[in-house]
A and B are shown apart, each in its own frame.
Chain A
Amino acid sequence: MTSVALLLTVLVPLSLAAAFAIRSWRPAIERVAAAAPIPAVWLAVVGGESSLELPSVLLGASWGLDPIGRAFLGFTAFSWLASGLFAQAYFARGSSPVSQPSGRRFHFFFLLTMAGNFGVVLAEDLGSFLLFFTLTSFASYGLITHDRKPASLHAGRIYIVMVVVGELLIFWGILLAAHEAESFRLDALAAGVAESPRKDWIVGSVLAGFGIKLGVMPFHFWLPLAHPAAPTPGSAVLSGAIIKTGLLGWLRFLPLGTAALPEWGMLCGGVGLATAMLGVLLGLPQRHPKAVLAYSSVSQMGLLAVAIGAAMLAPAAWGTIATVLLLYAAHHAVVKTALFLGVGVAAAPLPHVWQRRAVQGGLIVAAFSLAGLPLTSGFVAKSALKDAVAAAESWQGFWLEILPLTSVLTALLMLRYLGLLGLLETPRLLRSASDESCQPLAEDRSQPPSRDFGWPRTWGLLAPWGASALGTVLLFFIWRSQPVGSSKWFALDAVHLSSALWPILLAWALVIGVRVGPPVLRFGWLRGKVPAGDLAVPLATLTRVTSRAGRRQLLAVLAAATASGRRVARRVWRIRARRPWERAVRLLESDFSTGLALGLLALLLLILLAL
């Protein structure tokens, strides 16, 4: 039974995608596409350890479900299911710019990518892993360039270049690993790699190759371009599910737990920490909520790299760290799905005010879950991550102290996201976003409430989003009831609570301080100055510098940069019109979300005191 489910998990989305070849079937397939992850969900919930040998396929294939695979399948299937259901309502708009053929095209690539994504999780041999990893990577191109706009095509171009570079690195790494291990089975690889004299080559190329997929710096630049370019449900799976295949690659091919790799561990940890910090700093000036979320993904994946680094330093603690990684990945998948779908939900012309309030509340909880809000999955993930880092002896001082800083930064980034969606102030909610350049995707531009927005579509959007937003809270209780990992991670005592809450409160205070304080603190001049995909821009320019026109362009950019530098200096000294305390009072009056958040925190404390 489970072996049939293994096959169906991959073959159902794959054959649905293939059936797109028949023109007259397309509308029907589009309607059932959302049901394609059902075998995967069933397998993740019910299926125990199982395996399926397909000796005649590729290099001799074997698919199965081990504990790591099961965890991955769980959150991956969830993300695909929620996004697939969301897409049904998202693409069903009658007169909106999202037309029918566009929905068809989306669903074709959606199903194809889904098949690849599930396949990667189930693969237990090299051939299948490479096959499905490649399928996922190439099929996602169709999601990214979905609307065929110049910006999306540009994002797609940079994405596909990075995919090919990644494929080459991975091919090289895996080839060496298979040669050293003399086996095509994934479970035999780690042992072979650990004893290989060419260990460093393998570890290096696997880290870099899958690091591209994860968006670890300096390979992150494709991600903030690509993820926002896709339509909302596509962005949700890209950030929620697909980038985790990079993590899966690390888990499958690195000799974690069998060999100590101190140099690689330090490198991985250092790069991860830098990614976690810089990802936020580059994300803050973004003007598109999805770009902010993409940078947040970069930053969160950096934290995963830190945990991987810890595992390389302390192989003995691998058991714990593996659990930490899985918890963190699942948490991030659920929350990122909620946040990306939230971009679409917040923009939809929902007919009732209570629905908008619910969206606002849900998104705030989900956003702060990423920063470790208590009673959410983020709380568990953050405390678990601390344990993972502490496992590396050399990291116990400085690293443990700097970790909460990433939570502060994440909270800041999430406030930026909520601000861009207009969820931090009440009045903004009721009018459409004025700055069009903020939200280049027509379908995600917020629209005034409309009674014509019928209930099927309202709930079609709200239900999958709500499930993922609630998911972060539910995960906390599910994990606690299961006992997953250490009970310390769930401890709701004063010490843990305060250590989880202060980063969020500090970030909030910072934001209010910035709003009240002198305008230079708001870094308004910086907004929009960091283009999404930061490094990709100079890289693309670099190729143009060789031409004469390119050189002229470069000079113009330099001149503009000097001019804007002078403008900034002038602005620092400009005197403000309104007094700070007036602003503070206005802010407290108008800022619905501040009130909501304070209320939530008060409620939380009451619950905890009662427990």
Chain B
Amino acid sequence: MSWSMLLPLLVVASSLVPGCLIFLLREDRVRTRSVLNLAGAVLKVVLVAAMVWGVSQGETFQLSYPLLPGISFGLNAAPFSLLFVTLSAVLWLFTTIYAMGYLKGSPQRSRFFGFFSLCVSATAGIALAANLLTFLIFYEMLTLTTYPLVVHRGTEQALRGGRIYLAYTVLGGAILLLAIAWLQTTAGTLEFVEGGFAGSLAAPQHAALRWIFALLVVGFGIKAALVPLHSWLPQAMVAPAPVSALLHAVAVVKAGAFGIVRVIYDVFGVEFCIELGVTQPLAIAAAITILYGSLRALFQDNLKRRLAFSTISQVSYIVLGAAVLGPTATIGGTVHLVHQGIMKITLFFAAGNLAETLGVQKVSEMDGVGWRMPGTMASFTIAALGMIGLPPMAGFISKWYLASGALEAGQTWVVGVLLASSALNALYFLPILYAAWFHPPRADWPKSADRGRFETRLTLLLPPMATAAATLLAGLFAQLPFSPLDWARFIVAREYPP
């Protein structure tokens, strides 16, 4: 077996193996568990970096095991897969460090970190999947491994949130299975191909293909929280902060959006999508989701709930970018996959810090919190301004490319949606920043945890600061080689051959 076949497998295994080992550990083996966790996370980042370097040099990394005739289990490090796997590997490293600080002293940590690692393996598998079946396998694995994390606290509310989550995502998986089976019988293949494979099918099958497209979008749309399939996401905010970060930024929601984009580009193909006329309805659904999520976020007092509705809105930017059709909009959507990830994870880290250190969970309790936790709130501020789309933060780059891509594709209404969403983002983020920095600090916080020398534990403080810095740098130095934007351009150049 050569390196080029081994590397994708190792990327998946680098978190799978530590995950399984952690399950075997006794609860009090904190150091061994931390070493395993960190070693896995760092190894994964290194392996991914090696693959990124290789692919940029024109190498290919793929492997394939035939399962049944015409169906195989395959991994393939396509550029778009690498973008997602890089995002999840890097953010997983930060989330692991954060989770170790966050869960310090709480029970059931072996269970937590075990599933946590499995969850990331599943995400890596989704990212690297070479065909829809492999995708589905890892997709289901993701569903099953995130459930224990969502209900980790075991409270009534957590169990309820978990039940709703499971109901939605299992249903999504079933719809997906149906669609994939139908596609297999119709097209005879499931392999992702740049430019899509469905376009070669004859005209009589187009009606069936339209149905398959709709089913695939619904199946993925549940995880991507497309309105009206979004209700599980705000319910799942009862999970601990690192899990929310995982749900919103690293794995679950992203996996859905990633799936939709792959369906458009690598299953159906851009030109064939236009021929079928399926992208316009999808763009409209994404636009509705963007506006609806932002509108609902306005009225949430619970900080994590507000962030959850904000995710619903922001993730649909990715879908919108793919559905608008055109290289520039696709760059915008693709790069937003990364940008939304680093911005939203910063926000959730910060929200977790507030809850863990001061017991602050509501926006109305945040008066003057900036002066009590300056590092956390500075990170929150950078990410929130990025969400609004202000330069030089990463969100500006996404918004600029999405909007100019929409103009390029002649879909001016999309720009209106983006502007309205930006205005709403400003409306629900700026009051938070105002309360945090410009109100006098409260005298008593609901809770005061031990904090050591800094505003909170270093393991809690550093991850948000690092991702906030990434938010700033990804926007400010967007044109550097290997920046998210540069990689998105590289991907799109292959999807839209000149």
Q: Which of B449-498 contact A (CB under 8 A)?
A: 475-480
**Nearest Cβ on chain B to A485's Cβ, whole angstroms:** 36
User: What residues of chain A lie closer than 8 Å to B71, measured between beta carbons?
Assistant: none
Give Cα A250–Cα B390 distance, bound, in whole angstroms.
Answer: 20
Give Cα A160–Cα B478 distance, bound, in whole angstroms.
Answer: 28
Q: Is the CB of B407 within 8 A of A58?
A: no
Is chain A's binding surface mostly helix, strand, loop or mixed? helix
Say yes or no: is A76 at the interface (Cβ < 8 Å to chain B).
no
Give 1 or 0 for each of A141-184: 1 = CB within 8 Å of chain B CB.
00001001000010010001000110110011001101100000
Q: Is the CB of A127 within 8 A of B404?
A: no
Give Cα A59–Cα B335 distance, bound, in whole angstroms.
Answer: 14
Q: Is the CB of A175 within 8 A of B404?
A: yes
Q: Which single member of B404, B426, B440, B476 contacts A57 (CB below 8 Å)? A: B476
Say yes or no: is B49 at the interface (Cβ < 8 Å to chain A).
no
Q: Which single member of A164, A168, A178 contacts B404 (CB below 8 Å)? A: A178
Give Cα A56–Cα B486 distance, bound, in whole angstroms.
Answer: 10
Give Cα A168–Cα B403 distance, bound, in whole angstroms.
Answer: 12
Give Cα A55–Cα B423 distance, bound, in whole angstroms.
Answer: 30
Say yes or no: is B400 at the interface (Cβ < 8 Å to chain A).
yes
Give Cα A156–Cα B434 distance, bound, in whole angstroms.
Answer: 10
Q: Which residue of A lies closest to B403 (CB)?
A: A175
Q: Is the CB of A55 within 8 A of B479?
A: yes
**Nearest Cβ on chain B to A408's Cβ, whole angstroms:** 41
Give Cα A227–Cα B271 distance, bound, in whole angstroms.
Answer: 55
Give Cα A454–Cα B156 distance, bound, in whole angstroms.
Answer: 69
Q: Is the CB of A138 within 8 A of B390?
A: yes
Q: Which residue of B lies closest to A180 (CB)?
A: B407
Q: Which of B395-432 contact A (CB under 8 A)?
A: 396-397, 400, 403-404, 407-408, 415, 419, 422-423, 426, 430
Size of interface on A: residues with Cβ below 8 Å to B: 27
Q: Is the CB of B407 within 8 A of A59?
A: no
Q: Is the CB of B480 within 8 A of A56?
A: yes
User: What residues of chain A lie closer than 8 Å to B396, measured between beta carbons?
Assistant: 58, 130
Say yes or no: is A27 at the interface (Cβ < 8 Å to chain B).
no
**Nearest Cβ on chain A to B439's Cβ, whole angstroms:** 9
Q: Is the CB of B415 within 8 A of A172?
A: yes
User: What residues of chain B lie closer than 8 Å to A156, measured between beta carbons?
Assistant: 438
Q: Is the CB of A175 within 8 A of B438?
A: no
Instruction: Known contacts A58-B391, A58-B397, A172-B419; decide if A164 and B426 are in contact (CB<8 Å).
Output: yes
User: What residues of chain B lie closer than 8 Å to A58, measured between beta carbons?
Assistant: 391-392, 396-397, 475-476, 478-479
Q: Is the CB of B407 within 8 A of A176?
A: yes
Q: Is the CB of A153 within 8 A of B397?
A: no
Say yes or no: is A134 at the interface (Cβ < 8 Å to chain B).
yes
User: What residues of chain A lie closer than 8 Å to B374, measured between beta carbons?
Assistant: 21
Give Cα A176–Cα B477 distance, bound, in whole angstroms.
Answer: 23
Q: Which residue of A lies closest to B480 (CB)?
A: A56
Q: Is the CB of B391 within 8 A of A127?
A: yes
**Nearest Cβ on chain B to A225's Cβ, whole angstroms:** 16
User: What residues of chain A lie closer than 8 Å to B480, measured between beta carbons?
Assistant: 56
User: What residues of chain B lie closer than 8 Å to A178, measured between beta carbons?
Assistant: 404
User: What residues of chain A lie closer than 8 Å to B478, measured between beta carbons?
Assistant: 56-59
Q: Is the CB of A179 within 8 A of B479?
A: no
User: What residues of chain B lie closer than 8 Å to A218, measured between beta carbons?
Assistant: none
Instruction: Known contacts A164-B423, A168-B423; decide if A148 and B438 are in contact (CB<8 Å).
Output: yes
With A171-B389, A172-B419 known, 4 other A-B pairs at CB within 8 A are A58-B392, A58-B475, A175-B403, A179-B408
Q: Which residues of A contact B (CB under 8 A)?
A: 21, 55-60, 127, 130-131, 134, 138, 145, 148, 153, 156, 160, 164-165, 167-168, 171-172, 175-176, 178-179
Q: Which 4 residue pairs are nearest across A and B when measured between Cβ atoms?
A: A131-B391, A56-B479, A179-B407, A56-B480
